[in-house]
């Protein structure tokens, strides 16, 4: 893959800066391809009967983004462990810590 990127960059006349950006992009994509899920931790709140999980004080998750396993009793103030699907569109709540 690396050789192909270098060959394409040279063929298309990219300068040194363009080639470096292509290599960075290829490296990021390779790492992401090997991590289909990531483990995340969140803090739970209930607002008007709706579960909201806050991750790192900035990302708020709710509704269809969350998949809660059956038998998982979550209350406001609970800390939970989640698996984030690649792409970050859905979060599976694995349990309460």
> Higher confidence at residue 30 or residue 96?
96
**Structure tokens given for 52:** 């909201």
Q: Return the pLDDT at 15.
A: 54
CA distance 95 to 97: 7
Q: What is the pLDDT of residues 43-94, one digit of tens each?
A: 999 999 999 999 998 899 999 999 998 888 999 999 999 998 877 789 999 9
Q: Return the pLDDT at 51.
A: 95
Q: Are residues 14 and 44 in the same domain?
A: no
CA distance 79 to 95: 9
**Domain at 60, CATH number:** 2.40.50.140
* Contact between 80 and 95 (Cβ < 8 Å): yes
Q: Are residues 49 and 80 in the same domain?
A: yes
Structural domain including 69 reads 37-96
Q: Return the pLDDT at 10.
A: 55
Confidence of residue 6 (pLDDT cuts 50, 70, 90): low
Burial class (CB in 10 A: 0-12, 13-18, 19+), 82: buried
CA distance 30 to 33: 5
């Amino acid at each position: 893959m690396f050789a192909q990127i270098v060959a394409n960059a040279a063929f298309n006349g990219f300068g040194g800066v363009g080639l470096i950006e292509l290599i960075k992009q290829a490296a990021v994509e390779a790492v992401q391809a090997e991590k289909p899920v990531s483990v995340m931790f969140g803090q739970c709140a209930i607002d008007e009967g709706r579960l909201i999980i806050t991750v790192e004080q900035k990302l708020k998750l709710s509704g269809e983004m969350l998949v809660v396993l059956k038998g998982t009793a979550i209350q406001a103030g609970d800390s939970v462990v989640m698996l984030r699907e690649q792409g970050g569109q859905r979060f599976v709540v694995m349990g309460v810590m």
